[in-house]
Structure 1
Amino acid sequence: MTKREGQGARKLSFGLVAFAAFAAVCALGFATLGVWQVERLAWKNDLVAAVEARSTAAPLDLNEADWGAIDPEVSEYQRVSVRGRFEGDDTLSQAVTVHGGGFWVMTPLALDDGRALLVNRGFVTAAERDAGIARPDDAVAVSGLLRASEPDGGFLRSNDPDAGRWYSRDVAEIGAASGIYNLAPFFVDADKTDESYPIGGLTVLTFSNNHLVYALTWFGLTLLSLFALYWLLRDRLRR
Structure 2
Amino acid sequence: MTPLFSRLFILLVALFFTLPANAFPAKGKLLYQSSMRDKESVANWIMEGNAQVKFRAGWMEMFSPQQSAHHVFWCPQDFPDSFIASWEVQNLATDAGLLIVFFAARGENGEDIFAPTLPARDGTFTQYTNGKIKNYHISYYANVAHEPGRVHANLRKNNTFSLLQSGSEGIPTQSTAIHKITLIKQGAHIRLLIDGRSVIDYIDNQSLINDVDTGGPLAGGKIGFRQMQWSHFRYRNFQVWGLNVGDE
Which of the two has greater strand per residue?
A: 2
- TM-score, with normalisation over the residues of structure 1? 0.25
Q: Which has the higher contact order (CA 8 A, sep 6+)?
A: 2
- TM-score, with normalisation over the residues of structure 2? 0.24
Which of the two has greater helix per residue?
A: 1
